[in-house]
Structure 1
Amino acid sequence: MIRRPALLVVDDEPRSVEVIARVLDEEFDVFTAHDADEARRILENEWIQVIFCDQRMPGTSGVVLLTEVRERWPDILRIIVTGYSEPEDMIGAINAAGIYQFIPKPWHPDQLLLAARNAAHLFALQREHERLSLEMKLSAATAEARLAAQRERVAQIFHFDTLIRAPGSPLSQTCARAAQVATFDVPVLIHGETGTGKELLARAIHYSSLRSDRPFFAVNCGAIPDDLLESELFGHKKGSFTGAHVTRIGLLDQADGGTILLDEIGDISPAFQVKLLRFLQEGEIRPVGSNESKRVNVRVLAATHRDLHGEVGRGRFREDLYYRLCAMVLTLPPLRARRSDIPVLAQSILDALSAQHGKRAKGFSAEALGCMTAYDWPGNVRELQNEVTRMLVLAERDVLGADLLSPHVLRVAAATTAKAEPEIIALPDSGPLKDRIERMEASILTETLVRCRWNKSRAAEELGLSRVGLRAKLDRYGIARGATFANSH
């Protein structure tokens, strides 16, 4: 049952109190008091919303009592009932007490009831306003807490420790240097082959910097023509060129206070190099089609697979722009230079893909890891990820074997093994045809055995040999399963 609004009537005349209570009783819960002390006791124990108080009372007048109520219970709507014929005589006192309404005597019952209804409605509106204000404050605090938690999660995802590597990896030295430079607000040039994780390192630098709570953007400069790249970075005004149907805010403006990664910076044209240099020197952007410049505070990280210093020497890259970009140069080693990382990386990739696709996979066989470690991975981590994806899709067991690897990976691994075998290592890369054919034959034998999971009958059938003939060739070349695909690097 919904409780009715509660009113308090204060008057030293019992008859007056009785009449007012009778008028209001049909719609309100009415409490009555005959002096200020009794009124205070009721206010301390009941949730009163509106007070009707007579002005002329012995001891404490109505205005004095309502002034006290204003200090202790400011939400209560206060109505003064008085016999003064001229309201102007009480205006100063009414304002001081913060009285909601003045009702002169003699009053009409409808006038009294209307005043009570309006006051109760206003009280309800005030409470609703307070509730909504509190909810908005709580929502804002909750949203800020969620945003802070999200920033923390993102910072953990893109931390230097999340660049997966084995103990003693060459990558650890690069990460340590990047961690040192992260808190210094200087431009950094990241050099590395495609697929080595340049953007991941850039994100780790940003989220370890003092700008970590501000935006991070990455743009591939080599994949965008000059005119579109200018619009992407600096923005444009509506109608500034064909197709500019709306005004666009550039990434440099959006990243104000944060960081931007200019990936493949070595591929931008000489004309755009001039525009970029102007921004780096002046810290100002001017959208395409605009006559007004705007200052922005953005930390610039650049990445490239090219030798920019060599490009400067060959006149293909501006020297002044190069030195604006490379206060610190970080180099990411390719996978072939950190082979010990390959098993750790492959397992991490497999775990992520297994969860993503809902297909169970424990790991790789020792033979598969040997093959993967022997391969150079010219496409680096990106190529490794594609290979692990392929193996997971084709796998019929929860341990992925070497037979699932692509033929070109197996061929390289077989050739590596052949180089490592004592009988074969003496065979030169050039020389008599017989020696070179023997080396190729050993490589083919090894690759076929791996694909057939070392089932010699299947391998012999595929190669058109008898099982005895296959065994003879294996003995001749010293090919055995236990020593296959050892890392010779």
Structure 2
Amino acid sequence: MSKPTILVIDDEIRSQEALRRVLCDEFLVFTASGAEAAETLLEQERVEAILCDQRMPGETGVAFLKRARERWPETVRIIISGYTDSEDIIAGVNEAGIFQYVTKPWEPETLLEIVREASRLFRLQSENHAASLEIKLDSKSLGRVVADKRKSLKSRFGFDRLLCCDASPLKGAIDLARRIARYDIPVLITGESGTGKELLARALHYNSHRGEKPFVVENCGALPDTLLESELFGTKRGAFTGAMEDRIGLFEQASGGTIFLDEIGDTSPAFQVKLLRVLQEGEIRPLGARGPRKIDVRVIAATNHDLEKDVAEGRFRRDLYYRLAGLRLHVPPLRDRPMDLPLIAQRLVEQAAKSFGKKIGAIAPETLARLQDYDWPGNVREMQNEISRMVALADGPELGPDLLSEPVREKRLATQFGFASIQLPEAQGALKDHVERLEERLIAESLRRHRHNISRAAEELGLSRVGLRAKLQRYGLERLN
């Protein structure tokens, strides 16, 4: 694990060297003889704490730290001085947000303990974004806040939150995840959208030795390359137009913990090259930075793509695939887990009832049968929306079938038409209306399966792109695209 970075500012070289000797075993120590050199270092490095001499030529330590507070507010600030002027001390606390005021001559062990505490406070602040040096929490209080938060997260995201019975196809994946959670190897989780891939990733993290450290999430498919690089690797002030301050990337924010890269299959070939280098070298280079920085994180990636097929067809780098897939876990869709549905449905009812302040404890047998009969193309996420809607509409203690939305109430047709389980409405009304509704559903299912790729869906349905677009407009399905 990389050492915490400390910046020592003193115009006397002998003082710099004395401080370096005391701190270098536990910290990466940078030194500067004045404000200008210090600012240059702060722009280039992620500094956890500054030790600044009060009396320097040209500018006092308090004045410099006051300016540093405005640009780098997360960095913990310490003043070292041979003077005990009360006005300096008051100004340091009130204007520069000083963490500690250390008087000369200092004791090595005392100074070392102060810097350890400053580094600890910096990291606690990073983990608990709601708390900062500005709200005057001491490190013990902040430590309790973060410890309570970690305990709550571990209970919320344990393996027990992944509901399944012994006969479930998910049980094998969960059992395997339990066995490898404590080992520091990369994991690739595959499965359709809404199946619970992130829940499995969180369970892996909170049941590992990294469970006391941050768990950071990034959806790689939601951002263009430049923004994705900025989010993951960080940026230095002035790296591009609009970069007005340093930005710590998610890889550094996850230091010691886990980073979860969702939708990794949607990344571009250019970004895949950069990510591969990060995983190979164990270091990142923020945009605009002069040099790399070491990182210590576990990487868990997820995708709803068939990455092996993408690798074979040249859409995903083979070497990156093997870097990510140290272990592969598959989360099956809900339609393949009908035995788990009663457990999941009951849990969702309890959560929704608690959220809405309602007393609902049961699902009617007919309602449960309809839920089990439905294919759930949106998986658990869709079921959660359905049950939340039912609980919100319910007037009594039981959820009856009348509360189901129309798609779930409709009967399932057993015949399989090549790629989807088709559902038809009750046999009432004009044939033309039924045909149009069936056509609408076929188009929607094809689009979902091909991830809204017009060309592939049109080819499968035997339509031209123009013809498919016309039908999308006719049925109001443009929103799916």
TM-score range, shorter chain: 0.5 to 0.7
What SS is found at the alignment partner of 1:391?
helix
* Residue aligning to 1:166: 165
- Per the TM alignment, residue 292 of structure 1 is displaced from its structure 2 partner at its CA by 1.4
What SS is found at the alignment partner of 1:361?
coil
* Residue aligning to 2:266: 267
- Per the TM alignment, residue 141 of structure 1 is displaced from its structure 2 partner at its CA by 5.0
Shift of the 429–280 alpha-carbon distance from structure 1 to 2, 3 Å rule, reads closer
Cα contact 2:262–2:301 (8 A) shared by 1:
yes
Distance 2:409 2:368 in 1: 11
* Residue aligning to 2:118: none
Shift of the 150–307 alpha-carbon distance from structure 1 to 2, 3 Å rule, reads same
Distance 2:152 2:424 in 1: 52
What SS is found at the alignment partner of 1:415?
strand
- The Cα RMSD (Å) is 2.6
Distance 1:304 1:147 in 2: 31
- Per the TM alignment, residue 289 of structure 1 is displaced from its structure 2 partner at its CA by 1.1
Distance 2:353 2:369 in 1: 21
* Residue aligning to 1:102: none
Distance 2:251 2:290 in 1: 17
Deviations 1:179-199 (Å, cap 9, x if unpaired)?
111111010000010000001
Distance 2:330 2:176 in 1: 10
1:218 and 2:183 correspond: no
Distance 1:254 1:146 in 2: 18
* Residue aligning to 1:290: 289
- Per the TM alignment, residue 236 of structure 1 is displaced from its structure 2 partner at its CA by 0.4
Cα contact 2:236–2:247 (8 A) shared by 1:
yes
TM-score where L is the length of structure 1: 0.56
Please state which structure has a larger fraction of its residues in helix: 1
Cα contact 2:374–2:412 (8 A) shared by 1:
no
Task: Out of 160-169 and 402-411, give the one that drifted further.
Answer: 160-169
Deviations 1:392-435 (Å, cap 9, x if unpaired)?
12222221111111111111xx235xx5xxxxxxxx899xxxxx
User: Which ranges of structure 2 fall in alignment gaps of 5 or more residues?
Assistant: 1-113, 115-136, 418-422, 430-481
* Pairing 1:425-436 to 2, within 5 Å after superposition: none
* Residue aligning to 2:374: 375
Shift of the 287–383 alpha-carbon distance from structure 1 to 2, 3 Å rule, reads same
AA in 1 matched with 2:381: R
* Pairing 1:350-365 to 2, within 5 Å after superposition: 350-365=349-364
Distance 2:425 2:352 in 1: 36
Distance 1:279 1:348 in 2: 40
* Residue aligning to 1:256: 255
* Structure with greater Cα Rg: 1
Distance 2:424 2:258 in 1: 52
1:157 and 2:156 correspond: yes
TM-score where L is the length of structure 2: 0.57
* Residue aligning to 1:47: none
* Residue aligning to 2:235: 236
Distance 1:240 1:337 in 2: 49
Cα contact 1:188–1:300 (8 A) shared by 2:
yes
Select the residue among 399, 402, 412 that pairs with 1:415: 412
Deviating runs (4+, > 6 A) in structure 1? 439-442
Shift of the 444–162 alpha-carbon distance from structure 1 to 2, 3 Å rule, reads farther
Distance 1:396 1:152 in 2: 36
Seq. identity, %: 51
Deviations 1:325-370 (Å, cap 9, x if unpaired)?
0010000011001011112111111111111111221221100000
Cα contact 1:252–1:298 (8 A) shared by 2:
yes
Cα contact 1:264–1:305 (8 A) shared by 2:
yes
Cα contact 1:264–1:304 (8 A) shared by 2:
yes
Shift of the 252–403 alpha-carbon distance from structure 1 to 2, 3 Å rule, reads same
Distance 2:238 2:143 in 1: 38
- Per the TM alignment, residue 200 of structure 1 is displaced from its structure 2 partner at its CA by 0.5
AA in 1 matched with 2:362: G
Distance 1:274 1:442 in 2: 53
Distance 1:160 1:271 in 2: 35
Shift of the 187–441 alpha-carbon distance from structure 1 to 2, 3 Å rule, reads closer
* Residue aligning to 2:396: 397
Distance 2:368 2:160 in 1: 23
AA in 1 matched with 2:402: D
- Per the TM alignment, residue 245 of structure 1 is displaced from its structure 2 partner at its CA by 1.4
- Per the TM alignment, residue 304 of structure 1 is displaced from its structure 2 partner at its CA by 0.2
AA in 2 matched with 1:401: G
Deviations 1:135-183 (Å, cap 9, x if unpaired)?
xxx9755654554343223212111111122343222211111111111
Shift of the 191–444 alpha-carbon distance from structure 1 to 2, 3 Å rule, reads farther
- Per the TM alignment, residue 229 of structure 1 is displaced from its structure 2 partner at its CA by 0.2
1:312 and 2:323 correspond: no
Count the aligned residue pairs: 291
Cα contact 1:354–1:360 (8 A) shared by 2:
yes
